[in-house]
Structure 1
Amino acid sequence: MYNKIRVAAAQFHVGTDVADNLSTTLRMLDQASQVDPQLVVLPEFCNHLSWYDGPEHCYDVSVALDGPFLQAIANKARELGIYVVVNCTVQRPGQRATGSSLLYSPAGELLADNTKQIYIGHENDFLDRATEPGPIVELPFGRLGFYACMDGVINETPRGLALRGAQLLCNSLNSFASDEGSLHIPVRAAENKVFVVAANKIGPLVPEEMVGGISEATGIPPRFLGGAGESQIVAPSGEVLARASLDQEEVIYADIDLSEADNKTRPDGTDVFKARRPELYRPIVENPVNQPEAPWTQVGQLPAAILATASDGELMLKELADALSSGSLADAAWVALPPLLSAERMARDPRAAMEFSQEALAELQSLAQLHDLYLSTSLVLADELGQPQHSAILMGAAGICLRQGQIHHSERFAWSSLVNDISTVELAVGRLGLCLSDDSIYPETFRLMAMAGVEVASVPLQALESWELSTGLLERAAENRINLLVATSSSALGNPFAAVLQHDFTVMTPWQERPFDGLLSQPEYRPVAATDSFMTVSLHPSAAANKEVSRNTNLLRNRPWDLSAAIAEY
């Protein structure tokens, strides 16, 4: 097997004329062949816009596996000597149709037929979802998996493919959303340490003659009724190797070595697949119908603050006391602190860190009483056997009201004992959760928090990889609809920030507080300025109750639980 290959993604517009769309697709394959790739990934729904008069119309404009549209694609793959991933609506028995990604070989053979697991909005009215997990296809250069658009807005589908051995994930998109390119695409690569090739569309995603009317009826500006472009090729580190424009027909490409996707280790040596806790993830793969949601608190506003500092230990406590005494944080009900002790200091002497932490707790409680607020950080506490345990805490006037121990093994926190559950607390300010540094890289952690009804969470973070702060944690807030306070130690990797959920969220419904801005799920991003020592922010706990990204597409309850067994098995 050889691992080094050139991959490409083709970005273009698709309209309502199937014959014209075939001509465009073939032309773009010809254009892609000019960069000499081994594999080309095409956008979602290459045969027809995802807009139908009814089920019969959808079936009529869909393509047959043995029909002329796909035969032409197969012939083009053979002519050019390349692998091609094309996504179409495909005719199935019983006058049904699916949205499916199809892989053709350089010999023109159909090697894979992968149906989408999660549809968005009206797609659910016309297309059947997958009934089994997608295939992993082994080619001469590596192992491929496939997903499409909404499948990648939440983590389960790509996660399952990576756990089952995929080194390269091919993502075909039909998306208007700018946060597909800025968040969801790169995070799916980084969290799984695999390559992702993602091909999106440009131009109207609805019939061109209907753009004005739909815009007027929905309040969505016309520019957001078109494909958002930004097709990408992403490395396992989360680095974007190639990115297309927002609105131009384009081919992008990159040379990659798929053997890099076999390395699942972090900079500290932690193997992020071996450190997973599949036994704890069982609720993720169980039927949501049998999992009643925690009642939402309906808290509209939570005034909070993040302390930004390069100090730790005694100096951080002094900076906190000074900031509180100055009155700068007087309006905050919760102040999120970075880790009270650095990972290096804890690792040098965990028991000394545990002794200091006990002393620090008294100081934190005194400050919480004096200023009538909650304080969160991470430190070292004794577990039930008296052993050191890396723990996040929320301190109130009466003492610790929430403690979250470390869930996943981490080499830099290898001295810590582990816990086996997610802890939450409901207070007057909302239902709250905490997440430690090296637990935050696992999508399952935040999924379990969301399932437990967490509305606001804080992450006292000492980052190891740039993607954690550039895309990872904001994406966690987005795919789960959780407000976040990311209180990171000062680092060249990024600044502390808050992710603030907006009240206006569900697509194709009237928005009251802001104009539609092209974001599918991304919360408001509020970074702490590099020159500031703190930031105040107003969070919206009650906004976490709305997980409905579009009609019939709930970020939590429509997760592909029945196709995600790998998450609880590998």
Structure 2
Amino acid sequence: MSEDTSAETVRVAAVQFAVGTDRAANLATCLRMIDEAAATGAKIIVLPEFCNHLSWYTDRAAAHFAACREGDEFLTALGERAARHRVYLKTGVTWAHPDRRTTGTGVLHGPDGSLLARADKQVLMGAERDALDPADELGPVLDTPYGRVGMYACLEGVYNETARGLAVRGAQILLNSLNSFAVDEASLHVPVRAAENRVWVVAANKVGPLVPDEVAETVAAGLGIPVAWLHGAGESRIVAPDGTVVATAPRTGEAVVVADIDVGTATDKKRPDGTDVLAARRPELYGPIAAPSAPTGDAPGSDRALARVLCPNGSGHEALDDAARLLRDAVRDAVDLAVLPELFTREHGRADREPGGPEAAFVLKTLGAALHGGTTYAVCSLPSADGRAHVGYLLGPRGIVHRQEQLHTCARHAAWADRYADAVTVAQLPFGRVAIVVGDDTIYPEAFRLAVLAGAEIVAVPFTPCEEWELSLGLPERAAENRLNVVAAGRPAHPGGPAGAVLSLPADFTLWTPWDGPFTGRISHPDITVATGPATTAEIRPALAANRQVSRGTDLVDGRPWQLAGVLSAATPPLHRT
């Protein structure tokens, strides 16, 4: 392969391999794989997490003893190899701090062999908590000749906060080292972290056993999974800022995957409609994300409820008449929650000016009449009566139950919308607590985090997808990382295409507990019913939202790294350093 030395383009490599408990053997593997990656012409190389030792220890003292220290033979050899090949090298290790803390740490060596930076892991998974300590400070964003880079690791990418914090501080390339047997990390969480932040992600996972052979049977039995699944899931990958996977490794076996990436594409934060996804953030709303979760004290919702995604035909009065018909059908079928697309009376879900089309009051009256006499609730979005806000309405048999204005500005509605909500609020319905995420608020991970922190079990989403990832990956990831049921209604991009989805929480979720079904490698992933046609019905499970423990001591919401998330609510976040 030829080398591209332009300022905007750089060849990057994600490297996957297995390690054991022999540090010398692990180092030899690292050096051999670095050589292989460097031979491709890569200038940024990412290795997996915990390269110095399997992440399984008899006790905390053993973990501290096995950890790396600045200037030791392991790190010195890595630095020398980075210098030999003149590359930036990111490696996941464990780090022994002078105060006796031991962390999972990403280390970045520069082309001169120096140790440029460390980033300690902010959130720990299950048994990692038995031996390691979480970070007590943010990892840096560094300038390089190839762009600004930030580092994160494995479970940090299942939460949105760490990668988001790096992006708002200016990172263009995120280097993710993984130590995971979960196939949904590569297929779901890794690409969404790229797309929602419009950055490149270079993710390197392990293959081979993740625990020592002598404890594998015991650990597998405790986790409730087959021993064969206690292997790294591979599929190391490089993902573009639009969520496209440009290179991927196989599920098993050593591999080096490379791509020539245009770093400049991570500077442009605009969606196709012109919305700048970082500039449109509203840090002043995100305070709850950077604070401890406040218990709501609410009882769980129903075990099951029936949800339906509706896609009426046409626009204007034709769409309204069809929506009313579809809602009458939903009442007849005892559907609990029905969701209509964003601005469903407007062509393409767009209102360029106000007024126009059926007035909001008339639309709400017509839909309310269709619900009369039943037990069905419905969600739609409309311009407010004064034409200044995009509003999600929750309607019941007796009229309007709840309303939620959109939180973030949207280029599609810039001609008329100039008022935005200051919070996400939740409505208590007979079957569960419902929040509405309106329109383009779906692309902001903060919106769903605010919804779950407000007590939501179900999120209704009237929206218009602008990019392919938003429906295929974005909404499933939002459901997974927050343990939320999501009912989303949009419009098909082409006849017969998907118009939305019902994303329902699975009962099998928490590791170290019995599962009803076989383990398939997916840990945090909703059951997906893709919506096609005028009406798609599926079951949701509100009560399951109460369980957010993905593993021992690891809560997907309360366990978010809130202590270090202040950068998300800062009006002017600290930027990168050289």
* TM-score class, shorter: over 0.9
Contact 1:294 1:453 in 2 (8 A): no
Letter in 2 for 1:54: D
- Specify the SS of the correspondent of 1:15: coil
Q: Displacement of 1:294 after TM fit?
A: 4.8
Q: After superposition, what is the alpha-carbon deviation per residue over 1:443-485, rounded to whole angstroms, capped at 9, x for unaligned?
A: 1100000100100111111111111012111101111111001
Identity of aligned residues (%): 43
Once residues 330 and 154 of structure 2 are traced to their aligned partners in structure 1, the CA distance between those partners, rounded to angstroms, is 47
Q: After superposition, what is the alpha-carbon deviation per residue over 1:52-80, rounded to whole angstroms, capped at 9, x for unaligned?
A: 11112112222222111111111111112
Q: What is the aligned partner in structure 1 of residue 550 from structure 2?
A: 549
Q: What is the aligned partner in structure 2 of residue 393 from structure 1?
A: 393
Q: What is the aligned partner in structure 2 of residue 567 from structure 1?
A: 568
Greater shift, 1-10 or 457-466, is seen at 1-10
| Structure 1 residue 137 corresponds to structure 2 residue 139 | no
Q: Displacement of 1:277 after TM fit?
A: 0.8
Letter in 1 for 2:391: S
Q: After superposition, what is the alpha-carbon deviation per residue over 1:542-565, rounded to whole angstroms, capped at 9, x for unaligned?
A: 111111111111111111112112
Contact 2:324 2:367 in 1 (8 A): no
Structure 1 residue ranges, 4+ long, deviating more than 6 angstroms after superposition: none
Greater shift, 411-420 or 429-438, is seen at 411-420
Q: What is the aligned partner in structure 2 of residue 506 from structure 1?
A: 510
Please, which of 479, 484, 498 is the counterpart of residue 486 of structure 2? 484
Q: Displacement of 1:309 after TM fit?
A: 4.4
- 1:316–1:91 CA distance, 2 compared to 1 (3 A): same
Q: Displacement of 1:158 after TM fit?
A: 0.6
Mapping of residues 524-543 of structure 1, within 5 Å: 524-528=527-531, 530=532, 532-543=533-544
Greater shift, 560-569 or 38-47, is seen at 560-569
- Specify the SS of the correspondent of 1:471: helix
Q: What is the aligned partner in structure 2 of residue 356 from structure 1?
A: 359
Contact 1:404 1:422 in 2 (8 A): yes
Q: What is the aligned partner in structure 1 of residue 411 from structure 2?
A: 411
- 1:347–1:303 CA distance, 2 compared to 1 (3 A): closer
Q: Displacement of 1:237 after TM fit?
A: 0.9
- 1:396–1:240 CA distance, 2 compared to 1 (3 A): same
- Specify the SS of the correspondent of 1:402: strand
Mapping of residues 111-190 of structure 1, within 5 Å: 111-190=116-195
Q: What is the aligned partner in structure 2 of residue 440 from structure 1?
A: 442
Mapping of residues 68-467 of structure 1, within 5 Å: 68-288=73-293, 291-309=294-312, 311-323=314-326, 330-339=333-342, 340-342=344-346, 346-353=350-357, 355-382=358-385, 386-414=386-414, 415-416=416-417, 417-467=419-469
- 1:403–1:185 CA distance, 2 compared to 1 (3 A): same
Letter in 1 for 2:452: A
Letter in 2 for 1:342: R
Contact 2:336 2:377 in 1 (8 A): yes
Q: Displacement of 1:250 after TM fit?
A: 0.5
Contact 1:174 1:200 in 2 (8 A): yes
Please, which of 500, 510, 515 is the counterpart of residue 496 of structure 1? 500
- Specify the SS of the correspondent of 1:351: coil
Q: How big is the alpha-carbon RMSD for the aligned residues of Structure 1 and Structure 2?
A: 1.8
- Specify the SS of the correspondent of 2:420: coil
- If the length of structure 1 is used for normalisation, what is the TM-score? 0.95
- 1:364–1:309 CA distance, 2 compared to 1 (3 A): closer
- 1:472–1:277 CA distance, 2 compared to 1 (3 A): same
- 1:207–1:313 CA distance, 2 compared to 1 (3 A): farther
Once residues 277 and 108 of structure 1 are traced to their aligned partners in structure 2, the CA distance between those partners, rounded to angstroms, is 40
Q: What is the aligned partner in structure 2 of residue 56 from structure 1?
A: 61
Q: After superposition, what is the alpha-carbon deviation per residue over 1:90-146, rounded to whole angstroms, capped at 9, x for unaligned?
A: 122144311100001111100011111111112112112211111111111111100
- Specify the SS of the correspondent of 1:347: coil
Which consecutive residues of structure 1, in runs of 5 or more, have no partner in the other structure?
none
Once residues 521 and 32 of structure 2 are traced to their aligned partners in structure 1, the CA distance between those partners, rounded to angstroms, is 29
Once residues 274 and 102 of structure 2 are traced to their aligned partners in structure 1, the CA distance between those partners, rounded to angstroms, is 46
Once residues 350 and 112 of structure 2 are traced to their aligned partners in structure 1, the CA distance between those partners, rounded to angstroms, is 58
Contact 2:334 2:374 in 1 (8 A): no
- Specify the SS of the correspondent of 1:292: coil
